[in-house]
Amino acid sequence: MAAAVVLALSGCGASEVVEEEKVSGQGEGKTEYPLTIENCGREITIESAPQNVVSLDQNSTEILLSLGLEEHIAGAASWTDPILDSLAEANKQVPRLSDDAPTYEVVLDADPDFVTASFGRHYNEEGGVVSRDRLAETGIESYLSPTDCEGGTSINGGGTRTQLLTLDSLYQEIRDMAAIFDVKDRGEKLISELQSRTDAALKGVDLQGKTVAFWFADTRTPYIAGKYGSASMLASMTGMENVFSDVDDDWPATGWETFVEKDPEIIVLGDLQRDRFPGDRLDDKIEFLKSDPLTKTMGAVQNECFIALHGAEMNPSIRSVAGLEKIQSWTKESGGCGAGAS
């Protein structure tokens, strides 16, 4: 379950330096085909702008829509939240293949000439949708978001991060998609907008080392954010410390005893609309925390130090910036539950 500026902000923690991928024809102006890109340990070649792309994740779909490529999307899948309001009209013409991961047969029925994904689990041989090798055998190129890749290995596909994720990886994906579809000017415009929003969202926000836990889903064995993923990136950028910084995986499951022992001062709650796990929705999470004999003893619960983020805002995506904006708004409204703002 869940990004190109190098941040030079005090208190922002470690940064991941993303090596620029090899891209042919990715300068200014029109794309020159064939276009060759090194993507997560693979070299892919695009002969011409794809006409029928299948997107296996909401995050990758919203990037394509933000680039004005809805007419080229043959199908989309794996949704945690409703589409962004600004993209809703464009999304009406995009076929929904599945709310969750589609089958390989469903993907093939969409007749794609290109497949993109935010999470490498879709490309796993076991339990995935289809391997990248199998797609290549049928003449279909595939792409994996750099936000899910380190050292040529997919994090969500079985790898482990060694560096904190940054927005650089997200911007790399936007630039790659813009080059692949020959809309580079749109890509740079989108990145500029996201950078401006990020700068504005971080202005005056410093939660001064307040401890935080990110709860994505499931009341039985909660999925929480580990130390190097997108949620920890949000924490680092806003001056918070993730209490699960000793956990390597992006979204591991833990026990409530461990969660309570960590005693975070702030709890970020995933407000998911997919209804896949118990407690996906915000109200159900809050009700559980306030009624469970163990969790209701926590100071963060008693003081209602909750920040609500959509699932897509907790995963690496263009919505990461919206996550920063919501943290800023919460800080102003709540005073950061006692934290100062500079």
What is the tens place of the pLDDT at every residue in 152-171?
Answer: 999 999 999 999 999 999 99
- pLDDT for res 87: 97
Q: Assign a CATH topology to domain 205-338.
A: Rossmann fold (3.40.50)
- Between 3.40.50.1980, 3.10.310.30, 3.40.50.2300, 3.20.20.120, what CATH number should domain 35-201 receive? 3.40.50.1980
Domain ranges of the chain: 35-201, 205-338
- pLDDT for res 1: 38
Return the amino acid letter for 193: E
Which parts of the chain register pLDDT below 70?
1-28, 338-342
Same fold, 35-201 and 205-338: yes
Distance of alpha carbon 154 from alpha carbon 157, whole angstroms: 5
- pLDDT for res 270: 95
Contacts of 132 (CB under 8 A, 6+ apart): 42, 123, 142, 144
- pLDDT for res 224: 97
User: Do 117 and 20 meet the contact criterion of CB atoms below 8 Å apart?
Assistant: no
- pLDDT for res 274: 80
Angle of helix 184-202 relative to helix 167-180, nearest 10 degrees, comes to 160
- pLDDT for res 27: 55
Q: What is the distance, to the nearest Å, from the Cα of residue 211 to the centroid of all Cα atoms in its chain?
A: 22
